[in-house]
Amino acid sequence: MANEQESWTVSEITRQIKANLETEFRSVAITGEISNLHKHSSGHLYFTLKDDRSQISAVLWRSRARTVRFQPEEGNQVLVTGRITLYEPRGQYQVEISSIRPVGVGELARLFEKVKAKLAEEGLFEPERKKPLPLFPESIGIVTSPTGAALQDMVSIINRRFPGVRLILSPVAVQGPSAAAEISEAIRDFNRLQNVDVMIIGRGGGSLEDLWPFNEEGVARAIAASSIPVISAVGHEVDFSIADFVADARAATPTAAAQMVVQDRKAILENLQRKWYLLHEMTEKMLDRYRDSIRSLTRSYAFSSPLDLMKQFNQRVDEVRKTLDLTMDHRISLTRSRCDSLSKRSRSLNPDLVLKRGYAIARKGERIISDGRLLSPGDTLDVRFHTGRVRSTVTEKL
């Protein structure tokens, strides 16, 4: 056992390791995939470089970040050069980057684009297949981690905005190897039970690896097959997942999803109150106008002297009736005169009256003879008198 003179304090051993490490690795070149990228408000970039076995912390100071043309992103495969340093307060070593350049797209990023292209080709992202969200849902299903801050935020906001809405949690893992299967099964369970009007699936922010379950094809197909509208709320505003593209609506964050899924009850009530007030005012004004009209009518001559008005109407009816009688008498007289005239003319044209005056009608066969030149000696005529008929023969033309 080492005696007290041979022991080191934590600071001493850390300082010694720092000196040895930074002396040994003054210049290194490392290839890896960017993960857990974080841009600090100071302008410094912090992230993790990893391969399939190990990872190392990395920092790109603001002064260096300004000079590089390449903008690092999650999933990028990059080559960095720099030196290994040790951050004493945590005893953590890291690579302090002097230059960075891309060497290809990370495997997860490539897989993301592959799945996205496949589902887009199948039409799963088309706007026509997206279902509208219910305006006033009575029950909301939430598919997320039961221990995450995202759940607490959503519950708090929904209860504040519209108290009384029923919330049903389907607890799932939101990262790790089992997460995608659990999320897919939760979506299918809600559809089997049909006990919610809308679903929110999601989680808070994280690295590309953390959010990857929401990029899984199985989760995307479960969302697409859902008869219940689905809101995707994965990560932060800058994060996009396959679930976002397939879902009926995308919320930038779980908080935004909670604000999207329910109306603000207080705002609705205030709006209804304003509309009620306006309707009340309009009704009162309309009633005032009707009251004024009625008062004006009741003060008019028609309402103040109804008997006089009735007498005027009766007198007018008598005048119209008298005019009508005179008109009808005149028309009847004219008609009678015309009938008498026509009767006289009809009698004057009666052939019996003409024969009575001594005339006769001569026929040759069926033909009436009105011209003696049409006859020849020997023609037989049928002669009709006023009384009686004779048959005669022409013996001579005079």
Domain 110-127+137-263, what fold?
Answer: Rossmann fold (3.40.50)
pLDDT of residue 226: 97
Could you tell me what percentage of the chain is helix, strand and coil, using 3-state DSSP and rounding each to the nearest 5? 45, 25, 30
Residue with the larger pLDDT of the pair 301 and 90: 90
What six digits make up the tokens of 42?
């100071």
pLDDT of residue 234: 93
Q: Give tens-digit pLDDT for 176-195.
A: 778 999 999 999 999 999 99
Least confident of 9-18, 106-115, 259-268, 348-357: 348-357
What six digits make up the tokens of 253?
């964050």
Do 105 and 75 touch, CB atoms closer than 8 A?
A: yes
pLDDT of residue 394: 81
Alpha-carbon gap, residue 199 to 158, rounded angstroms = 13
Alpha-carbon gap, residue 229 to 255, rounded angstroms = 18
pLDDT at 68 over 70: no
- State which CATH number among 2.40.50.140, 1.10.10.10, 1.10.287.3510, 3.40.50.261 fits the domain covering 6-105: 2.40.50.140
Q: Give tens-digit pLDDT for 255-280.
A: 999 999 999 988 888 888 889 889 98
Alpha-carbon gap, residue 320 to 318, rounded angstroms = 5
Residue with the larger pLDDT of the pair 47 and 388: 47
Do 242 and 112 touch, CB atoms closer than 8 A?
A: yes
pLDDT of residue 315: 83
Q: Taking the CA of residue 209 as centre, how many other CA atoms within 13 Å lie in the half-sphere pointing to its CB?
A: 15
pLDDT of residue 314: 82
Phi/psi for 254 (5° steps) reads -60, -35
pLDDT of residue 359: 78
Q: Give tens-digit pLDDT for 156-169.
A: 999 999 999 999 99
In single-letter form, the type of residue at position 375 comes to L
Does the reported pTM lie above 0.75? no
